[in-house]
Chains A and B, each alone.
Chain A
Amino acid sequence: MSSEKGLIPHDLFPWKPAKVSGKAPQEKLIVAHAPHWHDGSKISTKNYNIMIAALPAVLFGISQYGAPALGVIALAMGSAMVWELIMNLAMGKPWSIGDASAAVTGLLLGMLMPATAPWWVIALGTFIAIMVGKQIFGGIGFNPLNPPLLALAMLVISFKGVFDFDEALRHYDLGFAMAYPLGQLKYFGTAAIGKFSVGDLVMGKQAGAVGSTFGLGLILGGLYLLLRGYIRWEISLSFLAGVFVTALLFNVLGDSSKYAGPFFHLFTGYTLVAAFFLLPEDSSSPANFIPMLLFGALAGFLTVLIRNVGAYVDGVPFSILLMNLANPLFDKIRPKAIGKVVENA
């Protein structure tokens, strides 16, 4: 009706309020679609909580390995944020480091590294995690694989020596057997792991990556995230169950001089950090109930399978990446929407 005047906002609402003489123009109201309430959740809040949950394990690592461990974590977080920023600038997108997801990616990768990792390996790792793992797919929400794990897998393949924890940490004397339990198991069988009691493993008396040896701390952090609803319990618990059952079967039905028992597998290597911090990463894991259970359980199964019969000392990065790839298929298993009409039924 008044389109000849051009598209000024008033044209979208051609009805003019009846004139009220001498009144000031009315307030400008915000027009928005329902719902007008939101539960207040935010991606940054979630990520800050993940960082808080990781704190016990990280602080323990720093207390064990000292300044180098702190250096690894700081460098990993810092470089991850720098890569994210560079990518934002290069692609002309709004800055996304405020959502803290780059910081979490860096933190998690740092937790998976030995304290002795050289700086360039860390910087390369976060580069892979942010650029290859996340940004080339379109950034947050679009990554099909878990970014820190993708970086870890590439680094493990390329720089085997860096991840030889026995070799890397041989100068440390922390008052316990300074040996990487999974390495001992792989090369010397169960005879060599008698020195690790379950209690010691849980309390972090084992050699390993900066943020993945303190079982108790990881469990506490994980429970915190579970209870606050920031990770999906279905995935974490089914993963742990998968690890437990598979290890038990190997141990009982297989050669028990070669295959360690279930508790050993639960508290060594990357198992716990994977269960609570890596596997439930949103974008690379399923959202429906049964798929979540399958996803976790199969990842746990593969992890132990690789540890026991595969070529790698720890199966975590590879088993999870493999499940990440299968994730879109998993989420095809879903409940029937109420009211859905099934054709030809």
Chain B
Amino acid sequence: MIKRSFLGLAKPRLQYSVTVGTVQELPVPSKVILLLKEPQNGGRGNGLKVGDSVKTGQRLSASPEGVEYVISSVTGTISDMAPYVGMLGQKCKAITIDASGQDDWDDSFNKEPTLDAALKFFEYAPGNPSFKAFTDPEKSISAIVINGMDQDLLLTANQYVVQNEAADIKGGVDALKKMTGVDRIVITVPDNLVQQASTTGADVKSVSATYPSSLPHMIMKDVLGEVVLAGDSVEDAGVVFMSAEAVAALGAAFQTGQPCVTKIVTVVGKDGKTTNVRTRIGTPLKDVLQACNVSLNDRDRLIMGGPMTGAAAHSEELGVEPGTDGIVVQDETNSAQVTDYPCINCGECVRICPVKIPVNMLVRFLEGRFYEDARALYDLDCCIECGLCSYVCISRIPIFQYIKLGKYELSLIEIAEAVNE
């Protein structure tokens, strides 16, 4: 954990890691756990059941026409299907597949680079690329940004891909151009990777290595010179973001004819030692930790993602998800602790917020649950979710959590209003 410097007049500067090591290849795990989202309208198909045998690369969905799916990362049999509630109440099915040890590839994916194929096979690719915006009639996508730097601190999965798999990224860029018809493809990388990135065929832009400059909203502002309006997504502003790993997976898949079923994960132990591993999507976190010699104790935090925005998992039996760029283990003394102290108005959060939100006022409204006022008066919707305000808060208020909760509550109100209309 990086502490405040002795001379606190200067703002703390959190730097991304940009030096990339090697990647350790993990063996195929004995089982994988994949989280299949349940469709929002509640309709449930019964396309999958315990005992089904599945092949590597096979698309698993509750019903044949279902939009939510996972791609099996092993060949084997489904041994368990259990309900699971993820972040913010997202209902899922946790599908456990016992691996047979041999890979038998499913052949329903053909090498035709069409949007349809992308929607059907690549939304579960590493990095969770989303292709829905390209088919949304309300959005007109004019550019694709390939993010060649991980969004959170410590993690280097994407840096690794840019450094070592630029050829796959190039294939991915070509495929993206063909399937989406979007010509403007930009790749953003830290300074030391500009050279490798220039071979990908995308327009190379360098980004600063200071957090949070790799968050999509910051890239929009600093690199593309466009400000995303409050409450809008980057897609609303006409840009789709994809991680370098996702694009490389795309490129590799169209070359080999097999969808990508592995994920590069940066594992950070309690001593701060980082290891990059490539493992099957769905590998239990436990297996990954074991392979990296990281042990867990009671009251540790097991973070899926990075230290600023990652989600602390409740169990090491969860699987690596396509979006899990890192696994960080912290012991209790090194974890941020929150208090119920009130805001003392020290202004640290105001000075550090990258989008100039008056967080000292915002947090008062959020604590009082005045979410609508928080949005109307104090710019809740402008927040780009970097977590820096919580990081510096001297009262140790869980500001970032309040912000997420506020946005979630407002989204519930909106859904309710939409239903009533």
Q: Is B107 an interface residue (CB 8 A)?
A: no
Interchain CB contact under 8 A, B1 and A229: no
SS of A interface (majority): loop
Tell me, rounded to whole Å, the shortest Cβ–Cβ distance linking A241 to chain B: 18
**Chain A neighbourhood of B142, CB < 8 A:** none
Residue-wise, chain A 1-42 has the 8 Å CB interface mask toward B (1 for contact) of 100000000001111111000000011111111111111111
CA–CA, A66 to B388, complex, Å? 48
Q: Is A233 an interface residue (CB 8 A)?
A: yes
Known: A228-B7, A283-B345, A338-B355. A33 touches B31 (CB 8 A): no
Q: Which of B232, B312, B344, B394 contacts A29 (CB 8 A)?
A: B312
Q: Is A288 an interface residue (CB 8 A)?
A: yes
SS of B interface (majority): loop
Tell me, rounded to whole Å, the shortest Cβ–Cβ distance linking A143 to chain B: 10
Q: Which of B370-413 contact A (CB under 8 A)?
A: 379, 381-382, 387-388, 390-396, 398, 400-401, 404
Interchain CB contact under 8 A, A36 and B347: no
CA–CA, A26 to B302, complex, Å? 13
Q: Which of B311-330 contact A (CB under 8 A)?
A: 311-317, 328, 330
Q: Is B350 an interface residue (CB 8 A)?
A: yes
CA–CA, A45 to B85, complex, Å? 40
Interchain CB contact under 8 A, A138 and B360: no
Q: Is B2 an interface residue (CB 8 A)?
A: yes
CA–CA, A30 to B301, complex, Å? 5
Known: A15-B94, A31-B312. A38 touches B300 (CB 8 A): no
Q: Which of A40, A141, A228, A285 contacts B395 (CB 8 A)?
A: A141
Tell me, rounded to whole Å, the shortest Cβ–Cβ distance linking B83 to chain A: 5
A-B contact count (CB 8 A): 213
Q: Is B281 an interface residue (CB 8 A)?
A: no
Interchain CB contact under 8 A, A339 and B4: no
Q: Which of B299, B330, B343, B382 contacts A337 (CB 8 A)?
A: B382
CA–CA, A22 to B394, complex, Å? 46
**Chain A neighbourhood of B296, CB < 8 A:** 27, 29
11 additional contacts (CB under 8 A) given A32-B335, A338-B221, A338-B355: A13-B84, A28-B298, A31-B301, A32-B338, A33-B312, A34-B311, A37-B336, A39-B2, A39-B391, A141-B342, A228-B9
**4 A-B pairs with least C-beta separation:** A229-B8, A287-B347, A17-B317, A38-B336
The 5 sampled A-B contact pairs (Cβ below 8 Å) are: A17-B315, A141-B395, A229-B4, A337-B382, A338-B221
Chain B residues proximal to chain A, CB less than 8 Å: 1-4, 6-10, 12, 31, 33, 79-80, 82-85, 94, 96, 153, 217, 221, 227-232, 296-303, 305, 307-317, 328, 330, 332, 335-338, 341-348, 350-351, 354-358, 360-361, 379, 381-382, 387-388, 390-396, 398, 400-401, 404
